[in-house]
């Protein structure tokens, strides 16, 4: 039975409240758990950033409350918690994403659910159901918005509506209250232009923290009777929602092996493959050429001075990969940006726009790398896509290994093991068991 408004059947609204974990295939449930582990690992790495320190201090000082922040001893109210958690995850560009969204569902979604879970007693099953429901809702909300507006907005924009959906479910809002919550969130969500941050990398990032806070605020306002204009992306675009509960986009999320923009990940892989195949030294390189799509070409900072500039660069992480064989959060931290050999390599890289790559974006993020040595030997790679996409996903071991690496400075080995076990069996655990660990 679908929720009905007049003669309009709101399929998405029905899914928000009626979805059950048993409705989803096992592979989607297990992928959702891995995404939760991955998000927590990324947040742990993010806690060392200047961005996270600033936002956690801000919400502690300005949002009075006694709820523990994510992986912090500081406290705030639910809104401050959602804001700081979203921005902390966003501070290290290593979280999961969805190609058609051109962004990240989990980053604005998980913090909003976390805030409700800190405030109210939830079961692990309730937490997991809201998260999986939100991934499915957010996949469609993102695609609808991109298809119906001219600007390329950040994840926080459609993420606000997604967060409102999850919060409405967990707060047991009525169907009508939920409609208002979605409308409030869509109206007030951060319609920030993503390419502004690509061209001028700063701490505003992908707007996910603001989206989480807006979505939670919208649900709380709707609960009190505040009304909102209908969410156009939900109520006026039924075609985009017709397969919800049938097609599971949870299984089509990608993951990041490197803590930089997804658009730079294929060039990193291409450069690493050429280096492994031909065995040249990074000091022998005279020029690096990258053919790719328009948006990636605009990741143009070749001498970053902040970690945000390094994360939204192609040349710098490619240079790190060629010099060190990998790219870690430490390699793109503020303190690691003055290595002369890496800066030299970064300045050697030239970006070229390719129509072939443009035609396939955003479903595919193609790049081709050519490396020219000082002796004029040239090595041309093949067209390549980023590692760990939905077609060639990482194994569970890959994600858990990444989690251990990222969270080791923050979580003890026993806490990491316990957290993995709690998440793997979350539907049978108390949500408080997870809350204590994070």
300 token code pair: 């143009």
Average pLDDT over residues 232-248: 93
Average pLDDT over residues 96-115: 97
> Has residue 10 got a pLDDT over 90?
no
How far is 182 from 169, CA to CA, in rounded Å? 11
CA distances from 400 to 19, 47, 259, 368, 386 (A): 28, 19, 16, 29, 19
pLDDT at residue 6, as a whole number: 43
At a CB cut-off of 8 Å and minimum separation 6, what does 157 contact?
Answer: 145, 189, 190, 191, 192, 207, 211
CA dihedral 406, 408, 412, 413 (to 10 degrees): 90
Average pLDDT over residues 115-138: 97
pLDDT tens-digit series, residues 387-434: 999 999 999 999 999 999 999 999 999 999 999 999 999 999 999 999
pLDDT at residue 93, as a whole number: 95
pLDDT at residue 238, as a whole number: 83
């Amino acid at each position: 039975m679908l929720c009905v408004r007049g003669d309009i059947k709101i399929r998405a609204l029905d899914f928000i409240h009626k979805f059950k974990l048993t409705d989803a295939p096992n592979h989607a449930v297990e992928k959702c758990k891995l995404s939760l582990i991955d998000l927590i690992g990324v947040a742990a790495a993010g806690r060392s950033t200047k961005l996270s320190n600033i936002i956690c201090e801000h919400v502690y000082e300005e949002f009075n409350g006694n709820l523990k922040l994510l992986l912090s001893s500081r406290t705030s109210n639910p809104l401050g918690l959602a804001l700081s958690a979203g921005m902390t995850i966003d501070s290290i560009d290593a979280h999961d994403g969805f190609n058609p969204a051109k962004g990240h569902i989990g980053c604005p979604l998980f913090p909003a659910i976390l805030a409700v879970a800190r405030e109210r007693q939830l079961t692990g099953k309730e937490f997991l159901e809201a998260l999986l429901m939100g991934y499915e809702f957010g996949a469609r909300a993102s695609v609808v918005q991109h298809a119906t507006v001219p600007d390329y907005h950040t994840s926080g924009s459609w993420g606000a509506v997604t967060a409102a959906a999850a919060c409405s479910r967990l707060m047991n809002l009525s169907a009508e209250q939920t409609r208002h919550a979605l409308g409030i969130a869509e109206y007030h969500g951060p319609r920030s232009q993503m390419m502004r941050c690509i061209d001028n990398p700063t701490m505003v990032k992908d707007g996910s923290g603001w989206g989480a806070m807006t979505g939670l605020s919208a649900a709380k306002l709707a609960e009190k009777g505040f009304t909102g204009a209908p969410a156009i992306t939900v109520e006026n675009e039924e075609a985009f929602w017709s397969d919800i509960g049938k097609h599971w986009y949870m299984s089509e999320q990608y993951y990041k092996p490197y803590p930089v923009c997804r658009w730079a990940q294929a060039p990193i892989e291409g450069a690493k493959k050429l280096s492994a195949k031909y065995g040249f030294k990074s000091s022998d390189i005279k020029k690096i050429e990258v053919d790719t799509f328009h948006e990636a070409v605009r990741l143009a900072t070749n001498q970053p001075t902040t970690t945000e500039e390094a994360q939204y660069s192609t040349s710098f992480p490619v240079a790190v990969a060629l010099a060190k064989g990998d790219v870690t959060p430490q390699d793109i931290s503020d303190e690691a940006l003055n290595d002369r050999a890496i800066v030299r390599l970064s300045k050697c890289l030239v970006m070229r726009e390719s129509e072939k790559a443009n035609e396939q974006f955003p479903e595919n993020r193609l790049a081709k790398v050519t490396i020219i040595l000082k002796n004029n030997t040239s090595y041309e790679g093949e067209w390549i896509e980023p590692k760990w996409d939905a077609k060639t996903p990482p194994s569970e071991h890959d994600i858990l290994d990444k989690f251990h690496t990222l969270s080791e400075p923050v979580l003890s080995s026993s806490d990491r093991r316990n957290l993995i076990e709690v998440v793997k069996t979350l539907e049978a655990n108390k949500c408080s068991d997870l809350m204590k660990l994070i």
